[in-house]
Chain A
Amino acid sequence: MTRGSIKTNIAIYMGDIGKVFFDENELNDSIQDAYTEIVGTIQAIRKNATGTIPANRNYITPGTLVSDTSFLNCLAIFDISRNRFLGDNLNWPKDFQRVRPDWENMTQPPDFWAQVDCTQVALLGRLSGALSYRFYYAANAPTLSADADVLILPDLAERAIEEFVQGDLLENAEEITKAQIHYQNYEEEIAKLLQLSKDLAHADFMAYIDGRML
């Protein structure tokens, strides 16, 4: 599935062969929007990288630590030196304060992490010296720059992308009744993809990304 193949299909669906009414830029923008949204929703692209957590920090920005601008959200943090994952079943800040009211003064290797906002993560425990950790994270969709670029999505997502793009283009042309039908189809498709993503990640998500059998 490439950007070019999607554009060809859309031109046929919209009766706009030769792309007379909807120009290239409009099509490219819509496809990129659809791609970004679907990848973000089903968290299709997962990466891991090593980053150094500085000393005396309870709040870190993993995207900056791993120097990846496509960072979307943190999935897990692995303590390389202790060979274990940090716990992630505490809520910040309430549960952290229950462990110890002045938890920000606790100098020890972090045992737990929790998401603070879209970019930051809070650690329960602060390091006395900088140390390397491995971050597992979901990433944003890369920017499509050419028609030959392949979308990093399962083929099942093709219909969702095409429905989104048709809805978007019709909406821009103020054909809102038609647009609504395509958006409804898109929502149905994305629900199926979301379920597929959860099913695939259900049992052995960590086993696969860690490269070991549990």
Chain B
Amino acid sequence: MSVFSDATIDHFEALGRRKLSTELNLRVVRYSPVITAGTDTITLPADCQDIICITYRGLPLYTIKSRNYMSQGTPFYQNRSIPLGYIFDKITAISTVKLYPIPSESLASGNVDTGVLTSCIITYRALCDASNPCPSWFERRVLKYFIAYNLYSLEGKAQNLKLSMYHKKRFEFRLEHFKTQLVNFYFGPRQLVIQGLSMMGINWRRRNLPVLPARYGRPDDNSMVNR
């Protein structure tokens, strides 16, 4: 029988998952909040750790970095009825954002795939937990070091600080290993595909710029023709 209770092990397992998901880009979630006319604040989901982008009716909102700029309230901004940007509302809570200018319309929560044009969508990096675990191909081999180094450092008859330090170093080493591996996953295949695709002196490297239809697929608009 283990000297550590299941509850203690589960606790460190949860902490380990949180640690992994803050260190690595493991899970991206898209979420559509309800927008109420005249209300600027959006509460973010509890598992949100980092916003990647926010779109409002399909258009991206930009981060407003200067509060002074916002408070001065330029006429241009005051006349707008839909948001152009957002700020993190860190004064009241870290888990909210404020839209600016304040929307004058209400939007229902929409489908994150088909409702892009009619709703506000937040794309964010999410924390992992027991119901949304880290990918199985590496979680077990990293988490066991994290759990072991925490358990061996607990006060009691099983305390072994030397072993705890060993597992901590192994955890950090493994974490770096998988960080590298994830970067390879995200960018490596492109290198494999691009490298040396040539024969008889013909360079088969692929183009850098996308080939898109006229006016980037926008519908015909007389004001834009041949400009």
Could you tell me which A residues sit within 8 Å of B by CB distance? 33, 36-37, 40-41, 56-59, 72-76, 85, 87-90, 93, 97, 99-102, 104-108, 111-112, 115-120, 124-125, 140, 171, 174, 176, 198, 201-203, 205-206, 214
Contact = CB atoms under 8 A, between A and B. Distances in A.
Contact of B196 (A33, A75, A203): A203
B154 interface: no
A90 B210 contact: yes
B18 to A, nearest CB: 16
B59 A89 contact: no
B94 interface: no
13 contacts: A56-B113, A73-B185, A89-B208, A102-B58, A102-B59, A102-B60, A106-B216, A108-B217, A112-B210, A116-B28, A201-B192, A206-B193, A214-B199
A30 to B, nearest CB: 11
Interface size class of B (residues with CB under 8 A): 35 or more
Contacts of A97: 53, 60
A115 B210 contact: no
B27 A206 contact: no
Given A56-B113, A214-B199, A99 B137 contact: no
Contacts of A88: 189-190, 193
B213 interface: yes
A41 B181 contact: yes
Interface in B166-223: 166, 170, 181-182, 185-186, 189-190, 192-197, 199, 204, 206-208, 210-213, 216-217
Contact of A111 (B116, B163, B208, B210): B210
